[in-house]
Chains A and B, each alone.
Chain A
Amino acid sequence: MYSSPPPTPFFNIADITLWTLDPMLKKRDDFEDMLEERRNSSDLRYALKCYTPVLYKGLTPCKVSELKQMVLQSDQLGYVITQVSKEKGVTSDEVTGEAAAILEEMAQRLQLSTVRFFAFTLSKVFKTLFRSICINEEGLQRLQQAIHNHPVVLLPSHRSYMDFLLMSYILYTYDLALPVIAAGMDFMGMKVVGEMLRMSGAFFIRRSFGGDKLYWAVFSEYVKIMLKNGYAPVEFFLEGTRSRTAKSLTPKLGLLNIVMDPFLKGEVFDISLVPVSISYERTLEEALYARELLGVPKPKESTSGLFKARKILSEDYGSIHVYFGQPVSVRSLAESRVNRSQFNLIPRHIPTRPSEEILSFVNDSAYRLVRAQEENMVLKPWVLLAFVLLQKQAAEEKQGTALDELTEQAVWLRDLSRQYGAFLHWPDHIPPSEVVSSSLSLHRGLVRISEGRAVVILSCASYRNQALNVFIRPALLASAIHTAASNRKQEIYNSFSFLRNMFSNEFILCPGATVQDFEEACYLLVKTGTLQINQQEVLITERGHRTLAFLTSVLDPFLQGYQVVCRFLCEQDGLTEKQFIPAVRKFIIKHLLTGRLRYTEVLSSDLQKNALAALIRLGAVQKIKGNNYCFNVFPSEARNRGL
Chain B
Amino acid sequence: MSGFSDNIMRLSGRMLSQYPAQRDWDGKLTMAPHPGIIPTFSIVTLSDNVPEQEIMKWNGWGYSDSKFLYNKKGQAEFTGKRYRLSGMIIPGLREWMESTFSANLQHKTPAAPILNSSAVQPPTLNEAFLKELKSTGIPFSHDAEDRVFRSHGHCLHEIFALREGKIGRVPDLVVWPNCHNDVVKIVELACKHNVCLIPYGGGTSVSSALECPPEETRSIVSLDTSQMNRILWIDEKNLTAHVEAGIVGQDLERLLNESGYCTGHEPDSMEFSSLGGWVATRASGMKKNIYGNIEDLVVHIKMVTPRGVIEKSCQGPRMSTGPDVHHFIMGSEGTLGVVTEVTMKIRPMPEYQKYGSVVFPNFEMGVACLREVARQRCAPASIRLMDNEQFKFGHALKPQVSSIFTSFLDGLKKFYITKFKGFDPNRLCVATLLFEGDREKVLQHEKQVYDIAAKFGGLAAGEDNGQRGYMLTFVIAYLRDLGMDYYVIGESFETSMPWDRVLDICRNVKARIVRECKDKGVQFPPLSTCRVTQTYDAGACVYFYFAFNYRGLSDPVHVYEQVEHAAREEILANGGSLSHHHGVGKLRKEWMRESISSVGMGMLKSVKDYVDPNNIFGNRNLL
In angstroms, Cα B511 to Cα A348, docked, is: 21
Whole-angstrom distance between the Cβ of A559 and the nearest chain B Cβ: 47
Q: Could you tell me which residues of chain A, from 531 to 565, have a CB within 8 Å of some CB in chain B?
A: none
User: Quick check: B575 and A341 within 8 Å, CB to CB?
Assistant: yes
For residue B574, CB closer than 8 A to chain A, the reply is yes
- CB pair A267–B504 under 8 Å, yes or no, is yes
Among B500, B512, B573, point to the contact of A341 (Cβ < 8 A).
B573
Shortest distance in angstroms between B125's beta carbon and chain A's nearest beta carbon?
A: 46
Contact flags A3-31 to B (C-beta < 8 A → 1, else 0): 00000000000000000000000000000
- In the assembled complex, A427 has its CB within 8 A of some CB on chain B: no
- Does A61 make an interface contact (CB < 8 A)? no
CA distance A348 to B574 in the complex (A): 11
Q: B511: which A residues are within 8 A, CB to CB? A: 269-270
Distance in angstroms between the alpha carbons of A185 and B501 in the assembled complex: 36
Chain B 555-595 per-residue mask, 1 if CB under 8 angstroms from chain A, else 0: 00000000000000000111100000000000000000010
Question: CB distance B575 to A344 under 8 Å?
Answer: yes
What is the bound-complex CA distance between A315 and B408, given in angstroms? 75
Question: When A266-B504, A267-B504 are in contact, do A343 and B575 touch as well, CB less than 8 Å?
Answer: yes
Question: Does B500 lie within 8 Å of A266, measured CB to CB?
Answer: no
Shortest C-beta distance, B46 to chain A (Å), equals 49
Q: Which of B505, B507, B511, B573 has the most chain A CB atoms closer than 10 A to its own CB?
A: B573
Contacts of A299 in B (CB 8 A): none
**Chain B, 496-526, CB within 8 A of any chain A CB:** 500-501, 504-505, 507-508, 511-512
Q: Which residue of B lies closest to A58 (CB)?
A: B507
- Residues of B within 8 Å of A267, CB to CB, are 504
- Does B512 contact A266, Cβ atoms closer than 8 Å? no
Interface residues of B, dominant DSSP: helix
Contacting B at CB under 8 A, from A570-594, are none
**Is A448 part of the binding interface, using a Cβ–Cβ cutoff of 8 Å?**
no
Let me know if B573 and A269 touch, CB within 8 A: no
| A149 (CB) vs chain B CBs: closest residue | B511
A261-293 to B contact mask, C-beta < 8 Å, 1/0 = 000001101100000000000000000000000
Given the complex of chains A and B, what is the CA–CA distance between A341 and B573 in angstroms?
A: 4
Please tell me if the beta carbons of A266 and B594 are within 8 angstroms of each other in the complex.
no
B592 CB to closest chain A CB (Å) equals 14
In the bound complex, do residue A347 and residue B575 qualify as a contact, i.e. CB atoms below 8 Å apart?
A: no
Main SS class of interface, A:
loop
Known interface pairs A269-B511, A348-B500; A341-B572 also in contact (CB < 8 Å): yes
* A418 sits at the interface (CB 8 A): no
Which residues of B (471-510) have their CB < 8 Å from a CB of A? Answer: 500-501, 504-505, 507-508
CA distance A269 to B507 in the complex (A): 7
Report the separation of the CA atoms of residues A344 and B572 in the bound assembly, to the nearest whole angstrom.
Answer: 9
Q: How large is the interface on A (under 10, 10 to 19, 20 to 34, 35 or more residues)?
A: 10 to 19
B505 touches A266 (CB 8 A): yes
Q: How far is the CA of A270 from the CA of B574 in the complex (A)?
A: 13
Closest to B510 in A: A269
Q: Please, which residues of chain B bring their CB within 8 A of the CB of A39? A: none
A286 to B575, CA, bound (A): 51
**CB < 8 Å neighbour of B573 from A270, A340, A347, A348:** A340
Q: List, in ascending order, chain A residues with CB within 8 A of B505's CB.
A: 266
A350 to chain B, nearest CB (A): 12
A contact residues around B574 at 8 Å (CB): 266, 340
CB of A402 to closest CB in B, whole Å? 59
Complexed CA–CA distance, A266 and B498 (Å): 13
Q: Which residue of B lies closest to A262 (CB)?
A: B504
A269 touches B512 (CB 8 A): yes
Please, which residue of chain A has its CB at the minimum distance from the CB of B512?
A269
Which residue of chain B is the closest to A347 with respect to CB atoms?
Answer: B500
Partner of B594, one of A340, A341, A348: A341
List chain B residues, Cβ under 8 A from A340: 573-574
- Compute how far the CA of A343 lies from the CA of B572 in the bound complex, rounded to whole angstroms: 11
B599 to chain A, nearest CB (A): 16
Min C-beta distance of B45 to chain A, whole Å: 50
Q: In whole Å, how far is A97's beta carbon from the nearest beta carbon of chain B? A: 27
Closest to A340 in B: B573
Min distance, Cβ B511 to any Cβ of chain A, angstroms:
4
Measured CB to CB, the nearest residue on chain B to A264 is B573
Task: Give B605 Cβ to nearest chain A Cβ, in Å.
Answer: 22
Which residues of chain B are near A343, meaning CB under 8 Å? 575
How many Å from the CB of B457 to the closest CB on chain A? 13
Residues of A within 8 A of B575 (CB): 266, 341, 343-344
A266 touches B572 (CB 8 A): no
State how many angstroms separate the Cβ of A59 from the closest Cβ of chain B.
13
Residues from chain A with Cβ under 8 Å of B512 in the complex: 269
A340 to B507, CA, bound (A): 16
- Give the Cβ gap from A100 to chain B, nearest Cβ, in Å: 25
Contacts of A339 in B (CB 8 A): 573
Please name the residue on chain B nearest to A75 by beta carbon: B500
Q: Which residues of A contact B573 (CB under 8 A)?
A: 266, 339-341
B500 touches A269 (CB 8 A): no
- Report how far A267 CA is from B574 CA in the complex, Å: 9
CA distance A187 to B575 in the complex (A): 42
Residues 210-269 of A at the B interface (beta carbon under 8 Å):
266-267, 269
Complex Cα distance, B507 from A266, in Å, reads 9
Min CB–CB distance A302 → chain B (angstroms): 46
Q: How far is the CA of A166 from the CA of B201 in the complex (A)?
A: 70
Report how far A348 CA is from B573 CA in the complex, Å.
13
Chain B residues positioned under 8 Å from A266 (CB to CB): 501, 504-505, 508, 573-575
Kindly provide the distance from the CB of B528 to the nearest chain A CB, expressed in whole angstroms: 12
Give A269 to B514 CA distance when docked, in angstroms.
Answer: 12
Please indicate the chain A residues that have their CB under 8 angstroms from the CB of B500 in the complex.
347-348
Chain A contacts of B572 at CB under 8 A? 341
Q: CB-CB contacts of A317-351 with B at 8 A, as 1s and 0s?
A: 00000000000000000000001110110011000
Q: In the complex, A340 Cα to B501 Cα: how many Å?
A: 13
Q: Compute how far the CA of A343 lies from the CA of B500 in the bound complex, rounded to whole angstroms.
A: 13
Q: How close is B258's CB to chain A, nearest CB, in angstroms? A: 47
With both beta carbons as reference points, the residue of chain B lying nearest to A269 in the complex is identified as B511
Instruction: Identify the closest chain A residue to B507 (Cβ).
Output: A269
The residue in A266, A340, A343, A348 that gathers the most chain B C-beta atoms within 10 A of its C-beta is A266
Complex Cα spacing A340 to B576, Å = 12
A-chain residues with CB within 8 Å of residue B507 when the two chains form the complex? 269
CA distance A269 to B508 in the complex (A): 5
Residues of B within 8 A of A348 (CB): 500
Residues in B with CB closer than 8 Å to A344 are 575
Q: What's the Cα separation between A347 and B574 when bound, in Å?
A: 12
Complexed CA–CA distance, A313 and B572 (Å): 58
Q: Which B-chain residue is minimally distant from A150 (CB atoms)?
A: B511
| B453 CB → nearest A CB, Å | 20
Chain B nearest CB, measured from A640 CB (Å): 46
Give the Cβ gap from B428 to chain A, nearest Cβ, in Å: 15
Contact digits for B26-50, partner A, Cβ 8 Å, 1 yes 0 no:
0000000000000000000000000
What is the CB-to-nearest-CB distance from B570 to chain A, in angstroms, rounded to a whole number? 9
State in angstroms the CA–CA spacing of A340 and B569 once bound together: 10
- When chains A and B are docked, how far (Å) is the Cα of A344 from the Cα of B508? 15
Q: When each residue 221-237 of chain B gets 1 if its CB lies under 8 Å from chain A and 0 otherwise, what string results?
A: 00000000000000000
A340 to B572, CA, bound (A): 9
CB nearest neighbor in B for A263: B508
Question: Which residues of the other chain, B, contact A269 by a CB distance below 8 angstroms?
Answer: 507-508, 511-512
Residues of A within 8 A of B501 (CB): 266
In this complex, the member of A267, A341, A343 whose beta carbon has the largest number of chain B beta carbons within 10 angstroms is: A341
Q: Which residue of A lies closest to B509 (CB)?
A: A269
Nearest B residue to A339 by beta-carbon distance?
B573
Chain B residue contacts of A341, Cβ below 8 A: 572-573, 575, 594
Q: How far is the CB of B384 from chain A (nearest CB, A)?
A: 23
Apart from A266-B505, A343-B575: 6 A-B pairs, beta carbons within 8 A: A266-B504, A266-B508, A266-B575, A339-B573, A340-B573, A341-B573
B residues with a Cβ closer than 8 A to A are 500-501, 504-505, 507-508, 511-512, 572-575, 594
Could you give 8 example pairs across A and B, Cβ below 8 Å? A266-B501, A266-B508, A269-B508, A269-B511, A270-B511, A341-B572, A341-B575, A347-B500
- 8 closest pairs, A vs B, by CB? A340-B573, A266-B574, A344-B575, A269-B511, A266-B504, A269-B508, A341-B573, A267-B504
